[in-house]
Amino acid sequence: MHVTICIITCNRPEGLERLLASISELEFSEVTPEVEVLVVDNDPDERARALCARSADALPGSLRYETEARRGIPFARNTAVARAAETTDFIVFVDDDETVDPRWLAELLAVQAQTGADVVTGPAVPRFPAEAPTWLVRSGAFDLLRYETGAERPFAYTHNVLTRREVFGAVQPNFDERMAHCGGSDTHFFRRVRRAGFRIVWADAAIAYEWVPAARLTTGWILRRSLRIGGTDAYIERDLDGLGAALRRLPWRAARYVARGALRLLSLPARGRAAFLFAGEDWARAFGLLAGMVGFRHQEYRVRT
Q: Are residues 240 and 277 located together in one domain of the fold?
A: yes
Q: What is the pLDDT of residues 166-206, one digit of tens each?
A: 999 999 999 999 998 888 999 999 999 999 999 999 999 99
DSSP annotation of 296 reads -
Q: Are residues 194 and 228 located together in one domain of the fold?
A: no
Q: 302 in a domain, yes or no?
A: no
Final residue of a structural domain among 216, 250, 283: 216
Range of the domain at 242: 219-293
Residues in Cβ contact with 301 at an 8 Å cutoff, skipping those fewer than 6 apart = 72, 73, 180, 181, 182, 183
Q: What is the pLDDT of residues 223-244, one digit of tens each?
A: 999 999 999 999 999 999 999 9
Helix then strand count (H, E) for the chain reads 11, 10
Q: What is the pLDDT of residues 126-153, one digit of tens each?
A: 999 999 999 999 999 999 999 999 999 9
Q: Are residues 132 and 46 located together in one domain of the fold?
A: yes
Q: Are residues 132 and 30 located together in one domain of the fold?
A: yes
Q: 198 in a domain, yes or no?
A: yes
Q: Are residues 193 and 225 located together in one domain of the fold?
A: no
Final residue of a structural domain among 183, 216, 249: 216
Predicted confidence (pLDDT) at residue 303 exceeds the cutoff of 60: no
DSSP annotation of 2 reads E
Final residue of a structural domain among 197, 216, 235: 216
Percentage of residues in the chain with pLDDT exceeding 70? 97
Residues 5 and 94: their CA atoms lie apart, in Å, by: 7
Q: Are residues 224 and 210 located together in one domain of the fold?
A: no
Q: What is the CATH number of the domain that holds 196?
A: 3.90.550.10
Q: 299 in a domain, yes or no?
A: no
Q: Are residues 184 and 257 located together in one domain of the fold?
A: no
pLDDT score of 305 = 39
Contact 261, 286 (CB under 8 A): yes
Q: 205 in a domain, yes or no?
A: yes
Q: 45 in a domain, yes or no?
A: yes
pLDDT score of 129 = 96
Closest CA to 1 of 94, 98, 102, 112: 112
Q: 91 in a domain, yes or no?
A: yes
Q: 304 in a domain, yes or no?
A: no
How many domains in the chain? 2
H or E stretch covering 203? none
pLDDT score of 260 = 96
Contact 202, 147 (CB under 8 A): yes
Q: Which whole number is the average pLDDT over 264-293?
A: 91
Q: 287 in a domain, yes or no?
A: yes
Q: Are residues 141 and 250 located together in one domain of the fold?
A: no
pLDDT score of 201 = 98
Q: Are residues 200 and 227 located together in one domain of the fold?
A: no
Q: Which whole number is the average pLDDT over 3-8?
A: 98
Quickly state the pLDDT bin for 272 (edges 50, 70, 90): confident
Q: Are residues 77 and 177 located together in one domain of the fold?
A: yes
Q: Are residues 157 and 110 located together in one domain of the fold?
A: yes
Q: Are residues 52 and 131 located together in one domain of the fold?
A: yes
